[in-house]
Amino acid sequence: MTNPLSLTSTVRLNNNVEMPVFGLGTFESEQGKTTRDAVLWALEAGYRHIDTAAIYRNEQDVGAAIRASGIPRVEIFVTTKLWNREQQYDAALRAFDQSLARLGMDYIDLYLIHWPVPPYRADAWRALCHLYEQGRCRTIGMSNYTIRHLKEVLADSPLVPAVNQFELSPFLTRTALVDFCCQKGIQVESYSPLARGAKLGDPTVVAVAKQHGKTAAQVLIRWTLQKGYVVIPKSVNRARIIENASVFDFSLTQKDVTILDGLNEDFRTIRPGFMQGEWD
């Protein structure tokens, strides 16, 4: 990672692609003007990385906003994800084409398998490897994969996923999974870094924020960056989009980080039934 951290800092992935460490999330960002405005405001504020997914139904608006920004496509890192129903090999290839068409792009920077759903996840990974080998996405990876799922992929594939995107915050530190990803050269990407707003009143976070003259959201985002994770906080509110990006003018001390690490309570905001009992 470049040092010191800035809004345009990148991390080099295991295939040498540079991924911006900070981006905009768009889960539950409504299709239409809401998403187009959010993406445009983020790009105006200096974001250069947008995370979407087929299931968010806003890829079209993400693509439209990127084009409207006038910023060259190559300067923006775009992630999208393969949805669960489309993991059979041919369906996955078709789904990729449909995502590209909705985005109005001719390549994706990072294509992820959204969830490790049985029984076709091996098929889905084969499809992503094929797309990568064809040069249609610059890099490929997983989302919501546990150690067990990652081991299954690594045992069967010469290609190591570049990224695993999963829920992570001081309230859900998942150290075994993080350590496993680091050992294997898989970049950790944190989603729901703000615990979807549920922990912004936490007294410890609020106290750390006060010491730095920052907001609780900014402290949670900064913690994630200082841990070395890529982070994609979501907002559709212009002021909050700017607030979330204003995390490069202060640092948490090692003591702050240790205090925040101590908040883990395995607090999840997202827990689908099919993952029952296999979270780490």
Ligand X SMILES: NC(=O)c1ccc[n+]([C@@H]2O[C@H](COP(=O)([O-])OP(=O)(O)OC[C@H]3O[C@@H](n4cnc5c(N)ncnc54)[C@H](OP(=O)(O)O)[C@@H]3O)[C@@H](O)[C@H]2O)c1
Which of 80, 99, 173, 244 contacts ligand X by CB under 6 A? 244
Instruction: Please give the residues from 29 up to 48 whose contact with ligand X meets the rule CB under 6 A.
Output: none
In whole angstroms, give the CA distance from residue 216 to residue 221: 9
User: Which is closer to ligand X, CB of 134 or CB of 198?
Assistant: 198
- Taking CB under 6 A as the binding criterion, the range among 4-12, 148-156, 238-246, 255-263 that sits at the site for ligand X is 238-246
49 touching ligand X, by CB under 6 A: no
Q: How far is the CB of 3 from ligand X (least distance, A)?
A: 25
Q: Residues 26, 18: contact at Cβ < 8 Å?
A: no
Instruction: Please give the residues from 196 up to 215 whose contact with ligand X meets the rule CB under 6 A.
Output: 196-197, 200
The residue of the chain with the least Cβ separation from ligand X equals: 25
26 touching ligand X, by CB under 6 A: yes
What is the DSSP track for 218-273?
A: HHHHHHHHHTT-EE--B---HHHHHHHH--SS----HHHHHHHHTT-----S---G
Q: Is 47 a catalytic residue?
A: no
237 touching ligand X, by CB under 6 A: yes
Task: Tell me the H-state helices in the chain.
Answer: 33-44, 59-69, 89-103, 121-133, 147-156, 175-184, 203-212, 216-226, 238-245, 254-261
Convert 239-273 to b/e letters by CB count within 10 Å (16 or more is b). ebbbbbbebbeeebeeebbebbeebeeebebeeee
Per-residue contact flags (x/-) with ligand X for residues 69 to 108, judged by CB under 6 A: ----------------------------------------
233 touching ligand X, by CB under 6 A: yes
Which of 165, 173, 187, 224 contacts ligand X by CB under 6 A? 165
User: Which is closer to ligand X, CB of 109 or CB of 243?
Assistant: 243
In whole angstroms, give the CA distance from residue 217 to residue 221: 6
Per-residue contact flags (x/-) with ligand X for residues 124 to 143, judged by CB under 6 A: -------------------x
Q: How far is the CB of 216 from ligand X (least distance, A)?
A: 8
Report whether the peptide linkage leading into residue 20 is cis, meaning its omega lies within 30 degrees of zero.
no
User: Which is closer to ligand X, CB of 20 or CB of 233?
Assistant: 233
Radius of gyration of the chain (CA): 18
Q: Residues 70, 44: contact at Cβ < 8 Å?
A: no
Nearest in space to 177 (alpha carbons), one of 111, 275, 52, 54: 275
Residues that bind ligand X (CB under 6 A): 25-27, 51, 114, 143-144, 165, 191-197, 200, 217, 232-237, 240, 243-244, 270
